[in-house]
Amino acid sequence: MQPTGKVIGVTGAASGIGRALVERFAREGARALVAIDRDGDGARATAARIGERCTAMAVDVAVERQLVDAIDQIEREVGAIDLFCSNAGIVVEGGVETPEAEWQRTWAVNLMSHVYAARALVPRMLARGGGYLLQTASAAGLLSQIGSATYSVTKHGAVAFAEWLSITYGDAGLKVSVLCPQAVRTPMIRGTQEGGVAGVDGVIEPEQVADAVIEGLADERFLILPHPQVLEYFRRKGADYDRWLRGMRRLQERYTGGR
């Protein structure tokens, strides 16, 4: 899949990976782009960097009606969406004591926003003979997230949902990729020391993630891994789960003192 000539929507586009994706898709010759974010001013700032090919929409992706209305508007006023990037995400520190409201908000943004987009787009894409969904999860969705139960659980869910979509609709023309980076220099890691535990293999720039996305889309790979080490960790996890868990406990001790 090449972005050239395509209509592309990107959520979480006010900053970080989302903004980098919009800018890179523009350079690759996308016909029209829509920068979507709860932060409307940030989305408009992203669109302004691109010019008339890019429009901005203020949308809370955790609210299904808002996201569906946005998709309807894009398809009505801009054109049929070829590629939709569900990229918005949040992280909340904490374990089982995390308040219910924080669990629900994280669940809605990190997982259900993918479901809402798919509900709106999959039937249309299948009717058109195909389409592409890029869903941003995290290396935490393949491995885990020390220090955040909500992030780990919801990102695992995002990976599982992307798998299900690919299995269920892949032979009908729907293409799905899931983006699973470790630490990226975005507002999400602000205030951490070099990305915290997620930065164990270094913090990369959003533009490097966008490069990996372009390569992954060109190959139509399901897993897009800007940090290549993640694949080896994933293999080790599958090969010996108990050994991997022991290693993760050691990593937790290193970064948190066992807290």
Residues with a catalytic annotation lie at 151
d(CA 32, CA 81): 9
92: phi then psi, degrees, rounded to nearest 5 = -125, 125
Cβ–Cβ under 8 Å, residues 88 and 138: no
Residues 6+ apart with CB under 8 A from 221: 177
Find the DSSP H helices in the chain.
Answer: 16-27, 40-50, 64-77, 100-107, 113-128, 149-169, 206-219, 229-239, 241-256
Q: Apex CA 197: angle with CA 248 and CA 215, to 5°?
A: 100
Structure tokens that stand for 117 in this block: 């987009």
Buried residues in 121-159 as b, exposed as e (16+ CB within 10 A): bbeebeeeeebbbbbbbbbbbbbbbbbbbbbbbbbbbbb
